[in-house]
A and B are shown apart, each in its own frame.
Chain A
């Protein structure tokens, strides 16, 4: 049973997380004006259809507004925290060119993203055990080569507490 819709791959987590445009923290609002007809807006229409979900997924705190058929020419407008506005003309550009352009002007660079990733990794220690939310593994029994979980494979007699206690009382 296939997924519903025209390009349902846009609605998968893998596709959404593949977006590589992460805006700098000063970008607050993004406005896209495009037209539903006309060859000049074709790239903008494809951008809205394919790339806006990826961008919004990666930047949940940026407000994105879409306006259709307000002006003859398609454009993007970004509102930054210091009051500055960035106008990007996207007439006659493909959606790939548009994403590359905004990644270059307002996106975090790859080094910044890697540095943030490393900072986040430093907070959690990989060698500890606990709930899945905070640690990698929950119990030593999950690791290959260690004693398997007694819930699935009974422990040998010598390791069991009742045998050890019986040996001690003897």
Chain B
């Protein structure tokens, strides 16, 4: 009987990186929705998986996609990093392809191109006032 992939039940999982202190290994927390039998409501149940990350490119807080390895790499590591879905701080909106944060896009934030001459002189005056002189005693 052949076991093509996965000595483990979960072939593809999406989780959040919670630790990268191990060398080339990322600790990933995976949440699934589990039905409470009495309340009949779904709650998140967490489970931690260890994933092999050869380039150590994961940072704590990334959302990653893990793929099951064909055989166990070590006692606890049964998955490897397939791709980083959302990098923390550098989320790219997949529909438009632009970097974003929360509900707004990060491109075209600074409008320094649209400032007029009067604005730049006013701002530079204000900056002069704010300058701290160490000689004043």
Binding site for B on A (CB under 8 A): 11-13, 16, 28-29, 31, 35, 37-38, 52-53, 56-57, 63-65, 67, 69-73, 75, 77, 79, 81, 83, 87, 89, 91
Docked CA distance A108–B65 (Å): 25
* Neighbour of B35 across the interface among A38, A57, A77, CB < 8 A: A57
Whether B41 pairs with A11 at a CB distance below 8 angstroms is yes
Partner of A79 from B14, B35, B91, B100 at Cβ < 8 Å? B14
If A11-B39, A63-B30 touch, does A81 touch B11 (CB 8 Å cutoff)? Answer: yes
Smallest CB gap from A65: residue in B: B14
| Interchain CB contact under 8 A, B95 and A81 | no
Categorize the interface residue count of chain B: 20 to 34
Complexed CA–CA distance, A53 and B86 (Å): 25
Let me know if B105 and A72 touch, CB within 8 A.
Answer: yes
Distance between Cα atoms of A77 and B103 in the complex (Å) = 18
Q: How far is the CA of A79 from the CA of B12 in the complex (A)?
A: 8
Fill in one digit per residue for B1-40: 1 if any A CB lies within 8 Å of its CB, else 0: 0000000001111100000000000000011110100011
Nearest CB of chain B from residue A59's CB, rounded to whole Å: 10
Are the CB atoms of B35 and A56 closer together than 8 Å? yes
- Given contacts A70-B102, A79-B65, whether A29 and B41 have CB atoms under 8 Å apart is no
List the B side residues contacting A53 at CB < 8 Å: 41-42
Is the pair A64, B33 in contact by a Cβ cutoff of 8 Å?
yes
